[in-house]
Amino acid sequence: MEQQNIYDNEEFFNSYQEMRQSTTVPNANDLIEIPQLFELIGDVKGKTILDLGCGSGGHDRKLIELGAKSVLGIDLSHNMINEAIKNNNTDKIEYKVMSMCDIDKLDRKFDLVVSSLAIHYIEDYDGLCKKVYDILNPGGEFIFSNSHPNDTAPILTNLEHRWVMLNDKKYFLLSDYNNEGKRSNFWYIDGVENYHRNMSTLVNGLLKANFRLEKMQESYASEEAIRLRPKYIEQKDHSYYVYFKAKKEN
Ligand SMILES: C[S@@+](CC[C@H](N)C(=O)[O-])C[C@H]1O[C@@H](n2cnc3c(N)ncnc32)[C@H](O)[C@@H]1O
């Protein structure tokens, strides 16, 4: 299964990095997704961690600061791994350019597998859940965020057209919710691909792999996030992300 590697497209990569690094416009990663994911991750002291789709490595640094023993970050994109290596100069963090679909080829096990907004790029979700289960130590956890199915469902070519305005209010479109599969959208550039899965598929992939589901959380905007970026009040109608915490029992 050949997967698109959009973060190695220079135009896309530069626009994405500009959004993530902007000091003038706060982004939903910093205000919403990262704090909520880390709340679910909780105590990492002494843990060995695998980060699937680690990007430029911000989460890995934070995991080590929180007391993790070691982190292996993997990403499909050379651009991202180069950034991650530049950003994190410690022997507690190691990076590899590889697909998360190949983790069955790694020769070690982990206490925790995390992933932040990367799993919606892969096609075989059930297969990934099984591979994560196998690579965890007994008692290990799989904690990840994914684009919310609300957002990935509509088959549109431009993400800016995901709503209609009625009486001055945004109403989000939820067409094609149960029509799962590949989507191709304009996001900085044309033809950015990801995979829509409904909530049943996201939950059942974990259960079929034998995980015990410990928590599922849909994103929300805190009062502070709304104060810093008023647009995020729309999360009262429409979550951007969903988070899962699943355990491999002993
Ligand atoms: C939205 S970025 C998130 C990066 C990072 N987790 C963060 O939150 O800052 C998604 C990342 O997933 C990576 N990715 C996409 N498909 C992947 C795959 N099959 N295996 C590993 N990484 C992948 C992309 O290259 C990109 O770096």
In CATH, 6-152+195-247 is 3.90.700.10: no
Report angle CA 170, 156, 184 to the nearest 5 degrees: 135
Which residues partner with 245 through β-bridges?
Answer: 143, 215
Render each residue's pLDDT in the chain as its tens digit; 250 residues.
689 999 999 999 999 898 898 888 889 999 999 999 999 999 999 999 999 999 999 999 999 999 999 999 999 999 999 999 999 989 999 999 999 999 999 999 999 999 999 999 999 999 999 999 999 999 999 999 999 999 999 987 676 778 888 998 888 889 999 999 999 988 889 899 999 999 999 999 999 999 999 999 999 999 999 999 999 998 888 999 999 999 999 7
- Shortest-distance atom of ligand 1 to CA 101: 19
- Shortest-distance atom of ligand 1 to CA 99: 20
Each residue's pLDDT tens digit, 160-184: 778 888 998 888 889 999 999 999 9
Cα 3 to averaged position of ligand 1 atoms, centre (Å): 12
24's CB contacts (< 8 A; 6+ apart) are none
R_g of the chain computed on alpha carbons:
18
Each residue's pLDDT tens digit, 197-220: 999 999 999 999 999 999 999 999
- Shortest-distance atom of ligand 1 to CA 3: 19
- Which protein residues touch ligand 1 with a CB less than 6 Å away? 3, 7, 52-55, 58-59, 74-77, 80, 99-101, 116-118, 121-122
Buried/exposed code over 57-78 (b: 16+ C-beta within 10 A; e: otherwise): bbbbbebbeeebebbbbbbbbe
Two tokens, residue 207: 């259960």
